Structures are given as structure tokens and as C-alpha cells.
Amino acid sequence: MNPIQVGILGVAHMHAVTYAALLGEMSGVQLAVIADEDEVRGRELAARFNSRWEKDYQTALSFPLDAVIVASENSRHREMAMAALEARLPVLCEKPLATRVEDAEAMVAESERRGVVLATAFPMRHSLPIRRLYDYLQTGALGRIVALNGTNRGQNPGGWFIRPELSGGGAVLDHTVHVIDLMRWYTGSEVVEVYAEIGTMHRECPVDDMGLLMLEFENGVVAAHDPSWSRPRQAFPTWGDVTLEVLGTEGVAWVDAFGQRLLAFDETIGKMQYVPWGDNADHGMLQDFLRVVREGGTPAATGKDGLEAVRVALAAYESARAQKPVRLSYNR
């Protein structure tokens, strides 16, 4: 069987390095090309992972590829994903799927029109602790879900993440989408109302670095979410967290997606660090995507899932500007 030929379009996102490294460890897969306009960055990554660099992603799409991963700046997701879908190549797109709802809708529509897979990079669906809690909820042991409390607090990544023309937003867009996806997955319901307080408090920058969202789901579940870039670089032992508390009519459960870890002192940086020992959610996500490329079917997190997470995150900004709750509407 010939190896699956994968191209990475854009390597601005730090996860591009992770994906390239994981693809290199997998059997039956070849990282055929890396496309990035930054020649220094693109060439370095291509050389590091024994691949080829192209400046123009359209040129990369002319290669005999089987699938692509889009890991560019957020604002370029639509153009790159659409070009790949037009070339009838399955796409795994980094989150957030887009910076505007209409762009995400267009991507999903193009995927459906051409019958080509569009997956969203939501690796937390492949986190063992997160999946264990999902399975536990399916047993009915907690009864009916009443409320959720989630966090995805991290460190300010700087760079293009704090340039709104490239990122589309700050912490709320960056860190809301992951947990909203998990909440939708756990509840099987869509968010119908969002109220948010958003600001810039932890570091002077042109985008938001903190927020608190209050959510109402169609099935009556209420939820809170903290997506702030509030973890201190100097002392905190990792980049951030993903946690969820689920309150049911028959009990309460709490999960830490990164709970599989040791705590060790790193002399090279002079502070304590988390050392993970458990499963690798990014690896699970890539395996799931490649399974779909090989065999067909539906990825764990689809383009539609990415769209709905973006819809909620952008509604949070609208709510903060208006200083009132925002109702969401769906075309069904």
C-alpha cells in the first residue's frame, strides 16, 4: 500500500511543528510538502522533517497529495481550505475554523457540495480523560445534565495571535472553541444564548486576554466558561489547562484533560514543569483524520463542529460589545 501523501499549508501555528513530528512517526504516511510564505520558517521546518518546501500553497496543491493540514494564521484558513477542497483533497483545519461565521459556513458548504471531508482540529475529543467522562455520561450515572463549568486558561502566545487582522480575536476566540466543542458533544445540544464579559487585563496588547462566558443550550443546560490567557509564564508549570465540571441530577463529575502528568523541576528554566505520561490527543486526532482519508467516513470533529464553535465565540464578542445577552439562530 502506498503511503498517504500529506501536505501542510501554512506553519504559522505552533501546532504545525507537532503535526509534522507526529506524521513522521506514523507508518504509511509521508509528509510530502510544507507550504509557507516565510522562507526561513518554511525551509527550516521542511529540512527538519525531511520534506519539501514551497512558498506558494497553490503550487503545493499541484503535488500528488492525498490530504492537507491547514495550520496558517487564522485569517487565512478559508482561502487555503477552500483551495484544497476545490482540489478535492480532504482537509484538517486548525482551530478556529475561521474568523467570521460566513467564512466557516462557506467552508462547510464547499465540503458538502464536493463531498470532500473537512475536519476541525479539536484534539480534546481524543483526550483519554475527556473521552472517559463522555462514556460515563452515556451510562446515565449522573442523570440529566443540568450545568457545565469549563476552563481553557493559557498563556498569551504573542506574535500573530495578538494581531487582530491575522488572529481574528484574542483569548476568547483562541480558547473558547475547544471547550464549546466539548460542551456541545457532551450535551448533544446547541448554544442558543451567550452573555460575555471580555477585556484586556493581564498584558498590554491589541486583543482581549480574558473573558467569562455564560451560555444557555437549547435543551436547557446552562454553562460557564473561562478562556483567559491568565497563566503566568514565569511560574506556571505548563502553557494552560482544559477542565470541565458536569453537574447532573444524580451527581457531579470533574475532568482535567491534562491530568495524566508528573511534576518535575527543570533546572534549565528554573521552575517546575508538568511532564505528561498519558495518551497524546494530537496523535489521536491525526490518526482519526488519516483513517477517514484511507477508509472514508466522518471525522470525530467535522467542519460543522468547527463552525458552531466559531459561532459561539463570535457571539461572545457581540455580547460584550452590546453589554447584553445575544441569542443565536440556526438555519435548519
Residue 41 CA to residue 37 CA, distance in Å, equals 8
pLDDT at 332 over 70: no
Amino acid identity for residue 211 in this structure: G
Average pLDDT over residues 177-195: 98
pLDDT at 30 over 90: yes
Residue 234 CA to residue 272 CA, distance in Å, equals 10
Q: Which three cell numbers stand for residue 110?
A: 464547499
| 165-182: pLDDT as tens digits | 999 999 999 999 999 999
| 70-114: pLDDT as tens digits | 999 999 999 999 999 999 999 999 999 999 999 999 999 999 999
pLDDT on residue 271: 87
Count other Cβ atoms within 10 Å, centred on residue 270: 8
- Would you tell me which CATH number, out of the four given (3.30.1330.120, 3.40.50.300, 3.90.1300.10, 3.40.50.720), belongs to the domain 4-122? 3.40.50.720
pLDDT on residue 61: 98
pLDDT at 124 over 90: yes
pLDDT on residue 330: 76
**CATH superfamily assigned to domain 124-281+311-327:** Dihydrodipicolinate Reductase; domain 2 (3.30.360.10)
Average pLDDT over residues 172-194: 98
pLDDT at 239 over 90: no
Of 207 and 271, the structure prediction assigns the larger pLDDT to: 207
pLDDT on residue 237: 87
Per-residue confidence at 228, pLDDT binned at 50, 70, 90? very high
Q: Where are the domains of the chain?
A: 4-122, 124-281+311-327
pLDDT on residue 269: 84
The bridge status of strand 118-120 relative to strand 91-93 is parallel
- Please identify which residue in the block is written with the cell numbers 525531511: 50
pLDDT on residue 196: 98
Q: Which three cell numbers stand for residue 153?
A: 486558561
| 36-62: pLDDT as tens digits | 999 999 999 999 999 999 999 999 999
pLDDT at 207 over 70: yes
pTM: 0.96
| 289-298: pLDDT as tens digits | 999 999 999 9
Count other Cβ atoms within 10 Å, centred on residue 140: 10
Closest CA to 132 of 260, 263, 233: 260
pLDDT on residue 266: 87
Per-chain mean pLDDT for the chain? 96
